[in-house]
Amino acid sequence: MAFRSHWLFVCLLMAACGQADAVSPEEQFAQASQPETQNATAQRADAPPTNKAGDQQTSDRKPPDDVQAAANGLVPLNPQKTVLLDAARKRVFLKATVVLREGVLEMFACLAGTKEHESVVAVETEAYVIHAALLAVGAEPGQPVQFDPEYRPPQGQPIDIFVNWQDTDGRPYRVPAQYWMRHTTRRYYVEPLDALPDGLTLPEDGELRYDEKRQQLIWFGPMNEQQLDRLRFLSENEEYRKTIQKFFDDSQTRQMEADFVFAGSSFFEEEDGTKFYLAESGNLICVANFSDAIIDVNVKSASSNEALMFEPYTERIPPLGTKLTIELVPRLEKDAK
């Protein structure tokens, strides 16, 4: 998104911070119920539909999303009505879609049409709208990850992220975003080992490898209990056995534990003064550290393909195409007391 000025950004914040606090839920409902174009025959949003003769018809259709959102005290902040502000409860809601259930992850949520091949969900919006919404509910941006001259993890307001959806039977669910992700298991595990124990020769076609030049023992993928017992039985060397045990422990399925922070992305300014909000590249909620992320994990997480730390927790994620709502809840100081 190119910003020749901050006018749109400021106007959005004024609307979010000022109007959302000043307007009652009843007034919000009335405003949201108004048609976008003038129509003398338009009906009230809460009235049953009528036919051309004016007779009422029965209908089980739900109110339009914007009307329902206003009735719940939510204020849409973008034309797509996918970014909703809850000023009273200090949280932001994002309408999203499940786009990935298997693979490796660079982010939990991306902007639609950008990085769906490495993100669990996608949100149809512009990134700056989400940034503005977080500011409006009191979240303080920090600093994106720094790699030079030395690594510094992303910093900023902690953000609790929840996923809300319904299954095919209409049962509602609400879980932390971390519940949908786990540490990657389909990867190489490498541990230092000065030398193989005396008398131990590894089969060339086996799963366990030793790199003599780098003095490293290497394993790929999750190790099961049968493999653990078989490999430990090959030698009584204590260091070797500890390494095999570590491969087993590290390769087991583990839910993601890391927290998220409001890093805030950054701007790039052209020579003519035009500013670009870098998160418009798609990096919305990242699980691999990126310097343009709006929200990032607060731990070191490499973004190179061979070192990606997280993957979808496939068994816990509903089918592709499932519609859901992401809930962003800043951890404000008063909430901690």
Amino acid 37 reads T
Q: Rounded to an integer, what distance in angstroms lies between the CA atom of residue 169 and that of residue 211? A: 52
Question: Does 51 fall in a domain?
Answer: no
Question: Does 93 fall in a domain?
Answer: yes
Question: Does 265 fall in a domain?
Answer: yes
The alpha-helical segments, DSSP class H, found in the chain are 7-14, 20-22, 25-33, 65-71, 127-136, 225-233, 238-250, 333-336
Residues 226 and 88 in one domain: no
Among 62-76, 213-227, 244-258, 287-301, name the one with the lowest average pLDDT.
Answer: 62-76
Beta-carbon count within 10 A of 24 CB: 9
Among 119-128, 193-202, 298-307, name the one with the lowest average pLDDT.
Answer: 298-307
pTM over 0.75: no
Chain centroid to CA 20: 25
Residues 6+ apart with CB under 8 A from 104: 118, 184, 305, 308, 310, 311
Question: Does 58 fall in a domain?
Answer: no
- Spatial contact of 332 and 90, defined as CB atoms under 8 Å apart: yes
The pLDDT of residue 29 is above 60? no
Residues 213 and 297 in one domain: no
Residues 192 and 312 in one domain: no
The closest alpha carbon to 172, from 3, 10, 56, 324, belongs to 324
Domain with 220, as residue range(s), is 188-250
pLDDT level of residue 153 (50, 70, 90 thresholds): confident
Question: Does 44 fall in a domain?
Answer: no
| Number of residues that make up the chain | 337
Select the highest-mean-pLDDT range: 5-19, 233-247, 267-281, 291-305. 233-247
Q: Strand 119-123 and strand 107-111: pairing?
A: parallel
Residues 109 and 156 in one domain: yes
**Residue carrying the six token digits 């190790």:** 223
pLDDT of 83: 97
φ, ψ dihedrals at 191, nearest 5°: -135, 140
What stretch of H or E contains 272?
A: none
pLDDT of 274: 77
Q: Strand 91-98 and strand 75-76: pairing?
A: unpaired
pLDDT greater at residue 266 or residue 212? 212
pLDDT greater at residue 223 or residue 71? 223
Q: Rounded to an integer, what distance in angstroms lies between the CA atom of residue 29 and that of residue 32? A: 5
Residues 150 and 298 in one domain: yes
- Spatial contact of 255 and 265, defined as CB atoms under 8 Å apart: no
Q: How many CA atoms does the CB half-sphere of 254 hold within 13 Å?
A: 14
Question: Does 48 fall in a domain?
Answer: no
285, β-bridge pairs: 109, 295
The SS3 of residue 58 is coil
- Spatial contact of 313 and 322, defined as CB atoms under 8 Å apart: no
- Spatial contact of 193 and 210, defined as CB atoms under 8 Å apart: yes
Number of structural domains in the chain = 2
Q: Rounded to an integer, what distance in angstroms lies between the CA atom of residue 260 and that of residue 301? A: 12
The pLDDT of residue 5 is above 60? no
pLDDT of 128: 94
The pLDDT of residue 132 is above 90? yes
Residues 298 and 175 in one domain: yes
The pLDDT of residue 40 is above 70? no
Residues 87 and 201 in one domain: no
Q: Rounded to an integer, what distance in angstroms lies between the CA atom of residue 191 and that of residue 210? A: 10
Query: What's the whole-number mean pLDDT along residues 274-286?
Result: 89
pLDDT greater at residue 223 or residue 59? 223
What does the angle CA 124 – CA 21 – CA 134 come to, to the nearest 5 degrees? 40
Residues 238 and 295 in one domain: no
Question: Does 135 fall in a domain?
Answer: yes
Share of the chain above pLDDT 90, in %: 58
Residues 246 and 260 in one domain: no
pLDDT of 204: 82
Residues 283 and 198 in one domain: no
The closest alpha carbon to 111, from 292, 330, 298, 311, belongs to 292
pLDDT greater at residue 186 or residue 116? 116
Residues 224 and 312 in one domain: no
pLDDT level of residue 311 (50, 70, 90 thresholds): very high
pLDDT level of residue 175 (50, 70, 90 thresholds): very high
- Spatial contact of 285 and 260, defined as CB atoms under 8 Å apart: yes
Among 33-42, 56-65, 106-115, 328-337, name the one with the lowest average pLDDT.
Answer: 33-42
How confident is the prediction for the chain on average, in pLDDT?
80
The closest alpha carbon to 153, from 298, 309, 307, 293, belongs to 298
